[in-house]
Chain A
Amino acid sequence: MLLLEKGIWFGLAAVGFAILFNVPTRTLIPIFIMGALGGLTKLQMLSLDLNVIISTLVGAALIGFLSILFAHKKHAPPPIFAIPAVIPMVPGIFAYRMMLGLINLAGDVNQATYNQILSETINNGLKVMLILMSLAGGVGIPMLITRKESAKNIRFRKKS
């Protein structure tokens, strides 16, 4: 699959959720761009054989920085851009496999396969949890390093 095509799908998923969350119309195009760029960053890092958790963290941090940039331009709070934009990176397939694993674990104990299912389920579950944490943490990075209460007080250039 082409990189550009994947970017479009990431952006489309972000815009779908943005419309579900009823964002103001002026924020839809920035959300598409942010979703696409964040997702592509994650994929690019994954293709360099980096850990999925670190890749997600970097993608989410990029979305966090862009959200502050667009918040200034479009006059809306940063989370409005950031939350729909990171949702395409939510680990849906891992969560699905974890749920299936949990159900299997609650079933009969078959010594031959139980240990394998157990380790796969724990692996998937931990990935889900850590990816979700890095999504929320990555989006929060700009606010944490600038130590401001509101994005309105963050300046990109020094005052002349």
Chain B
Amino acid sequence: MSVKADNNEINALGTTLLEIGALLMVSGASTGRIRNNINRISNSFGYSTDMLISQRTLMLNIYNEENGHFFNSLKRTQAHGVNFAIVSGISRMSWLVVEQKWSVEQINTDLIRIAALPHYPRMLILTFVGLAGAAFCRLAGGEALDMAMVFLGSFCGLFIRQEAHKLQFNPYICILFAALTSSLIAGLPIKFQIGDTKEVAFATSVLFLIPGVPLINSFSDMIDGNLQNGLIRGLNGFIISFAIALGLLTSMLIYHF
């Protein structure tokens, strides 16, 4: 009977660990971080762990050397969307698991709480991303009118991206739409010769789309020696950049710059 109970524990733990890994992967954690978090939790239960981590699938094998129980499974990850609240929450939880010797049920309860952590209000996100765009424009040497147009462009661009995401367009197409929208708006003063505008507004209006997390994770994965994941993340970032460039080019075509 006790053997069966142990078996249940390893199955429950394995499923939970895969869930944690998949959540971390889609939320924008680097490969080394995913491996550390999962090792930390499974070590506190006394299991040895081996993982294969890739962008779309996780493979986990946990093994108990004392009674020979093992768990082996695969999990497919959902669509990627950066969410650092989850990365931070799981990291904190993994230390609590070690320090307070949590059970699998406690981990599952906390995991539900972390996965449901709220996003910032939509208007706040749109406003601050617009301000970030205006800040980029100012740093690149833009004046007040450029900054205002970039603010408006980023605001509407992100709005369009979120709406396209809701309509379940391909993520790269969402970015293409957003880049097209914001560069069309930021290009208006240049097209109609209003004020003393330069290319600065046009170029910085799409900067809110830059794939910062994929690119930085790509290089940190490569430094860690996870070359395969690093290359894949870098390629993802490259395709996003290409989508941005395509959006810019389309609006240049429309405006005949």
Contact = CB atoms under 8 A, between A and B. Distances in A.
Which of the four size classes fits the interface of chain B? Answer: 35 or more
Contacts of A88: 135-136, 139
Contact of A77 (B87, B128, B131, B158): B87
A22 B213 CA distance: 13
A75 B92 contact: yes
B169 interface: no
B227 interface: no
A90 B241 CA distance: 13
B120 interface: yes
B83 interface: yes
Contact of B129 (A20, A140, A150): A20
B1 interface: no
A122 interface: no
Contacts of B219: 132-133, 135-137
Contact of B28 (A21, A92, A95): A21
A5 to B, nearest CB: 8
A75 to B, nearest CB: 6
Which of the four size classes fits the interface of chain A? Answer: 35 or more
Interface string B173-216: 00000000000000000000000000010011001101011011
27 contacts: A10-B139, A12-B132, A12-B135, A15-B132, A16-B131, A16-B132, A17-B129, A19-B120, A19-B129, A20-B129, A21-B82, A22-B117, A23-B84, A27-B88, A79-B33, A83-B84, A83-B213, A88-B135, A88-B139, A92-B204, A92-B207, A92-B210, A93-B203, A99-B248, A103-B249, A135-B219, A136-B223
A93 B204 contact: yes
Interface string B226-257: 00000000000000010001001100000000
Given A20-B129, A24-B88, A9 B135 contact: yes
A88 B55 CA distance: 26
A83 B124 CA distance: 20
Interface of B: 28-30, 33, 36, 82-85, 87-88, 91-92, 95, 117, 119-120, 124-125, 128-133, 135-136, 138-140, 158, 200, 203-204, 207-208, 210, 212-213, 215-216, 218-220, 223, 241, 245, 248-249
B30 A13 contact: no
Contact of B139 (A6, A23, A75): A6
Contact of B210 (A18, A87, A149): A87
B214 to A, nearest CB: 11
A45 interface: no
Contacts of B124: 19
B95 A135 contact: no
Given A92-B136, A152-B95, 17 more contacts: A9-B139, A10-B135, A13-B139, A15-B132, A16-B133, A19-B124, A20-B129, A76-B92, A77-B88, A79-B33, A84-B212, A87-B212, A90-B210, A92-B140, A93-B140, A103-B249, A136-B215
A146 B83 CA distance: 28
Contacts of B223: 136-137, 140, 144
A125 B99 CA distance: 48
A39 B135 CA distance: 12
Interface in A4-63: 6, 9-10, 12-24, 27, 39
B216 to A, nearest CB: 5
A68 interface: no
Nearest to A23: B84
Contacts of B158: 20
A17 B204 CA distance: 14
B212 A90 contact: yes
Contacts of A66: none
Contacts of A140: 220, 223
Contact of B248 (A87, A96, A133, A152): A96
Contact of B245 (A86, A99, A132, A137): A99
